[in-house]
Amino acid sequence: MDELAATIQFESGDLDGAYTLFEPQYRKYGRRVFEGHKKGFIDFIKSRKKTGKVDQ
């Protein structure tokens, strides 16, 4: 369910909200959680991690 909510937030431009939901999924499952989805999701998570932006 978090994946759907994160996707909606991402598509609507709420990037902080999307990251808050996507990042734990990415941390736990890696790239495979995004299989079949836009490549942009993985790029988004990686770019946030590189900048050190972590939302609590």
Residue 53 pLDDT greater than 70, yes or no: no
Residue 47 pLDDT greater than 80, yes or no: yes
pTM of the model: 0.69
Tokens (6 digits) for 27:
């941390």
Q: Tokens 């050190």 belong to which residue?
A: 52
Query: Is the distance from CB of 22 to CB of 41 less than 8 angstroms?
Result: yes
Q: What's the pLDDT at 52?
A: 61
